[in-house]
Amino acid sequence: MADAAYAIFLPDVKAFTGNFLLDDDVLREAGVIDFAPYRDDPDSELEIDIFVAPGGQAVP
Protein backbone atom coordinates (compact mmCIF):
# COMPACT_ATOMS: atom_id res chain seq x y z
CA MET A 1 0.00 0.00 0.00
CA ALA A 2 2.84 2.40 0.75
CA ASP A 3 4.27 1.92 -2.75
CA ALA A 4 0.90 2.78 -4.28
CA ALA A 5 0.55 5.86 -2.06
CA TYR A 6 4.00 7.00 -3.10
CA ALA A 7 3.09 6.58 -6.77
CA ILE A 8 -0.06 8.64 -6.23
CA PHE A 9 1.83 11.49 -4.60
CA LEU A 10 4.43 11.78 -7.34
CA PRO A 11 2.15 13.64 -9.79
CA ASP A 12 -0.18 16.50 -8.87
CA VAL A 13 -2.03 15.23 -5.79
CA LYS A 14 -5.07 17.41 -6.48
CA ALA A 15 -5.73 15.39 -9.64
CA PHE A 16 -6.54 12.37 -7.45
CA THR A 17 -8.89 14.12 -5.03
CA GLY A 18 -12.24 12.36 -4.72
CA ASN A 19 -11.24 9.28 -6.72
CA PHE A 20 -11.34 5.62 -5.69
CA LEU A 21 -8.10 3.82 -6.53
CA LEU A 22 -6.92 0.25 -6.17
CA ASP A 23 -3.31 -0.37 -5.18
CA ASP A 24 -2.86 -2.96 -7.94
CA ASP A 25 -4.06 -0.57 -10.64
CA VAL A 26 -1.88 2.28 -9.40
CA LEU A 27 1.20 0.06 -9.22
CA ARG A 28 0.56 -1.41 -12.71
CA GLU A 29 0.25 2.12 -14.09
CA ALA A 30 3.55 2.95 -12.36
CA GLY A 31 5.18 0.02 -14.17
CA VAL A 32 5.09 -2.75 -11.57
CA ILE A 33 4.68 -6.14 -13.26
CA ASP A 34 5.85 -8.50 -10.51
CA PHE A 35 3.56 -8.53 -7.48
CA ALA A 36 5.29 -11.48 -5.80
CA PRO A 37 7.11 -9.26 -3.27
CA TYR A 38 3.72 -8.19 -1.92
CA ARG A 39 2.75 -11.71 -0.87
CA ASP A 40 2.67 -12.50 2.81
CA ASP A 41 3.12 -16.20 2.05
CA PRO A 42 5.32 -16.90 -0.99
CA ASP A 43 3.47 -20.17 -1.63
CA SER A 44 0.01 -18.62 -1.86
CA GLU A 45 -1.69 -16.61 -4.57
CA LEU A 46 -2.52 -12.95 -4.01
CA GLU A 47 -6.13 -12.45 -2.93
CA ILE A 48 -8.54 -10.10 -4.67
CA ASP A 49 -9.85 -7.30 -2.45
CA ILE A 50 -13.01 -8.39 -0.66
CA PHE A 51 -14.89 -5.27 -1.76
CA VAL A 52 -14.00 -5.56 -5.43
CA ALA A 53 -15.63 -8.18 -7.61
CA PRO A 54 -13.59 -9.98 -10.27
CA GLY A 55 -13.27 -7.65 -13.23
CA GLY A 56 -12.80 -4.60 -11.04
CA GLN A 57 -16.43 -3.73 -10.30
CA ALA A 58 -17.05 -2.39 -6.80
CA VAL A 59 -19.36 -4.52 -4.68
CA PRO A 60 -22.22 -2.44 -3.23
Residuewise pLDDT in 10s, the chain (60 residues): 788 888 877 766 666 667 777 788 888 888 899 888 888 887 877 776 666 666 666 555
Please give the residue range of the domain that contains residue 28: 1-60
What was the pLDDT predicted at 60? Answer: 54
Domains held by the chain: number: 1
C-alpha to C-alpha distance for 52 and 41, rounded to whole angstroms: 21
What was the pLDDT predicted at 13? Answer: 60
What was the pLDDT predicted at 59? Answer: 57
What pTM did the predictor assign? 0.59
Q: Residue 32 burial (CB < 10 Å; 0-12/13-18/19+)? A: middle
What was the pLDDT predicted at 7? Answer: 80
